[in-house]
Amino acid sequence: MIMKKILVVDDEAKIVQIVRDYLERAGFSVLSAVDGRSALAKARADLPDLVVLDLSLPQMDGLDVTRELRKFSNVPVIMLTARAEESDKLVGLELGADDYLTKPFSPKELVARVRVLFRRQEQYQQESAERLQAADLTLDLPRMKVSAADRSLQPLTPTEFELLATLAGQPGRVFTRAQLLDAIHGIAFESYERAIDAHIKNIRHKIETDPRQPRYILSVYGIGYKFADR
């Protein structure tokens, strides 16, 4: 079994060491960077399987790193942030981060979240039904890719793909935000339901011809979302 490689980015050496210790004890290989520019360089050169990224970094902050990272990679990203404001977390998620933890955080919870992201990827790769057809979209479950018959689509992050697959797997069913959070985490984490809105916004920008008038993922006022059943 190939050891998963995780890039930890934080300018506080103590935090990097604690996270490294916990992740290595959990069986992961760990790389590290102390600023945004070196993080991007290592992401390009070493192709990590997941990035743990602090938002407050010298030279280039974590939001800018995420923005640049998403130009060449869909690697899962877990943000670490000391910023308590919901708006900061939403910006990070809208830029393509998969999850977040607020400092001070539990290293054990970080390991749990890492395992959840990897486990969900492995589940899709082992799916007996390799493809899911929904409207004119085709979801390649093992490869976590989505395509349309008549146009090219931007790649989805793992979390975005999981949300789309959950909705597309049951067209017409209305999912609450809490149900969708459970679908992507599979474990009880302290999170907030507006994170789902950020991910849905990203998915719409990638798969809809007009994100302002979506035809695939529809909002159900006061409840959540559904995939169109027509």
Separation CA 157–CA 3 (nearest Å) = 21
pLDDT for 126 equals 64
- With b meaning 16 or more CB within 10 Å and e meaning fewer, what string describes 136-163? ebebebeebebeeeeeeeeebbbbbbbb
Question: Could you give all domains of the chain from N- to C-terminal order, each with its CATH number?
Answer: 5-122 (3.40.50.2300), 128-227 (1.10.10.10)
Separation CA 223–CA 129 (nearest Å) = 30
The answer to whether 166 touches 183, Cβ cutoff 8 Å, is yes
How does pLDDT run across 54-104, given as a tens digit for each residue?
988 888 989 999 999 999 998 999 988 876 666 677 778 888 888 888 888
What one-character-per-residue DSSP string does 153-188 give? -PPPPHHHHHHHHHHHTSTT--EEHHHHHHHHH-S-
Handedness of CA 25, 188, 197, 224 (dihedral sign): positive
Separation CA 166–CA 225 (nearest Å) = 11
What is the average per-residue pLDDT within 126-130? 64
What pTM, to 2 d.p., does this model score?
0.77
The answer to whether 60 touches 31, Cβ cutoff 8 Å, is no
Separation CA 75–CA 48 (nearest Å) = 7
How does pLDDT run across 21-57, given as a tens digit for each residue?
999 999 999 999 999 999 999 999 999 999 999 988 8
Q: Could you give the 3-state DSSP secondary structure of residue 114?
A: helix
pLDDT for 100 equals 85
Separation CA 196–CA 201 (nearest Å) = 9
118 by Cβ neighbours in 10 Å (0-12 / 13-18 / 19+) ranks as middle
pLDDT band at 188 (very low <50, low <70, confident <90, very high): very low
